[in-house]
Chain A
Amino acid sequence: MNPDDFEKQLQRQTMRSIPGAWRGEILDAARRARDHQLSTITPQPSCGWREFLWPCPQAWAGLAAVWVLIVVLNSVTCEPASAAKGPNAPRAPEVLVALREHRRLLAELVESPTAVEPPKPSVPGPRSQLPQRIVAA
């Protein structure tokens, strides 16, 4: 489409120039924004753990609280168990007597091998008879 005279007349109109003071202001603002972005991106050496914990600090705090609770409950429940061991201490000689009795019985069994019949080795029948027995049953 060739421009007509009216279009040419419009195209001839001189545009206003951009105010000169804007250049410094806009470029400074852009530079500040870039510097700010760089300073926030640069990793701090001490904040590794912070970055690791940052996504969900409440969850980590909750997990730590659960562990503390487990440790406390464990220590509380272990104390009565150790206290319950006290009355069992005088029974130790009875246990020793029972242990000696077991040893004596074991020695008798070892010394008289005929007293105990060894189990007969079970010889399996021919495989072909198994279906016949099942059918007969």
Chain B
Amino acid sequence: MSPRDFLVRVYDEHAQALFAFLLNFTRDEADTKDLLQELFVKLAKQPGLLEAARDERAYLIRLAHNLAIDLMRRRAARGKTYEQLAAEGASIFAPAVEPDEQAFRQALVAALGELPPEQRAVVHLKLWEGLTFEQIAETLDLPPNTAASRYRYGLDKLRRRLRPLYEEIK
């Protein structure tokens, strides 16, 4: 497989998941695009990076997470934090047809924005990537217990915040 085909294959298989993860983590579409491009440039320069990976998707999310953390630090040095970006909040969800469902999605985006980035990352990987706590721990380089507790705290906050809307659409 040529290097070009390799990148196309990786993009077609994983870009959507990486996009959703990065958009949920950064809450900013321009940053998400920059980070995704940085990730693929890195892969183009070092095509051997993925060879040793047991789980390509988890490894790519880990790379994306590390790049996002670096960007977050650069931002913090310039005074703009991800808490501010989270408040601005680009939606990671597609628009819903049903008004109630759309209201729920908007409230969910806002509630996710109130979570600390690390809790948001764990919640995202558990709910929308379907990873186990062991996989999340490996991906984000933290102990499995920490991954589980971050998920519990995050989910509880979402539940408290979204309960009224959830009761309506249930």
Contacts and interface: CB of A to CB of B under 8 A. Distances in A.
Interface of A: 5-7, 9-11, 13-18, 22-23, 25-27, 29-31, 33-34, 37
A18 B3 contact: no
Given A15-B92, A17-B94, A26 B36 contact: yes
A10 B7 contact: no
Given A5-B170, A11-B128, 8 more contacts: A6-B155, A9-B170, A10-B158, A16-B91, A17-B16, A22-B33, A26-B33, A26-B36
Contacts of A14: 93-94, 96
Overall SS of chain A's interface: helix
Nearest to A13: B93
B131 to A, nearest CB: 13
B159 interface: yes
B37 A11 contact: no
Which A-B residue pairs are the 3 nearest by beta carbons? Answer: A30-B44, A18-B19, A34-B44
Contact of A26 (B40, B96, B127, B158): B40
B68 interface: no
Given A16-B20, A29-B37, A10 B127 contact: yes
B94 A30 contact: no
- Which range contains the number of B residues in contact with the other chain? 35 or more
A16 to B, nearest CB: 5
Interface of B: 3-4, 7-8, 11, 15-16, 19-20, 23, 33, 36-37, 40-41, 43-45, 91-94, 96, 104-105, 108, 127-128, 155, 158-159, 162, 166, 169-170
A16 B23 contact: yes
A27 B3 CA distance: 11
Contacts of A22: 15, 19, 33, 36
Contacts of A9: 104, 166, 169-170
Contacts of B8: 27
A18 B15 contact: yes
B3 to A, nearest CB: 6
Contacts of B45: 33-34, 37
A77 to B, nearest CB: 58
A22 B128 CA distance: 22
B128 A27 contact: no
Contacts of B4: 27, 31
Contacts of B7: 27, 30-31
The CB with the most chain B CB atoms within 10 A, among A27, A29, A37, is that of A27
A31 B10 CA distance: 13
18 contacts: A6-B159, A6-B166, A7-B127, A9-B166, A10-B127, A13-B93, A13-B105, A15-B20, A15-B128, A17-B16, A23-B11, A26-B15, A26-B33, A29-B41, A30-B44, A31-B44, A33-B45, A37-B45
